[in-house]
Amino acid sequence: MSVVSERRYVRSCLFAAFIVSLTIPVTTGRTRDLNVEEARRLAIQALRPTERAAPGLDAELAQSSHIAGFYRFEITWNNPNPGSAVIGSYAVNKATGDVWELVQCRRMRSPDLKRLQQELRQAIGLSSRELHELREKTPCES
């Protein structure tokens, strides 16, 4: 094969590879929202370890007081003593996995929660750019 024909062959291969690359779909960014079960895991993970160990712990999806873009959970436990069985109300952002404690309207943070958020954000394809853009949304009324 001559040098000229070899160059033509290489150019043809590169051109063919370029054309093929144009037909391959590229997905960047979030592919879906968190589902209810993933959000429930986040709400529970946002609790203190002693709260997570409470007997009969349950995170029930609240059917009332819908918050757009968030799942809202009422977290309860089997309190053997007189008093409240409610640990708290939490909202989980469907797009980012940020967890908010609703009484004080504060975003929850802990190393355990951060690890689970990173795992789930990767599973839904959330980029750091999207996280930054979507993070501004809060479940709290102004």
Q: Does residue 8 lie in a domain region? A: no
pLDDT, tens only, 14-41: 555 556 545 544 446 889 999 999 999 9
Q: Domain for residue 2, yes or no?
A: no
Q: Considering the chain, what percentage of its residues have pLDDT values greater than 70?
A: 80
Range(s) of the domain holding residue 69:
36-134
We report the CATH number of the domain holding residue 67 as: 3.10.450.170
pLDDT tens digits, one per residue of 49-59? 999 999 999 99
Nearest to 87 by CA among 65, 126, 55, 128: 55
Task: Give CA–CA dist 101/65, Å, rounded.
Answer: 15
* pTM of the complete model beyond 0.85: no
Domain membership flag for residue 23: no
Residue 1 lies in a domain: no
Q: How many folded domains does the chain comprise?
A: 1
Asked if residue 59 belongs to a domain, the reply is yes
Identify whether 11 is part of a domain: no
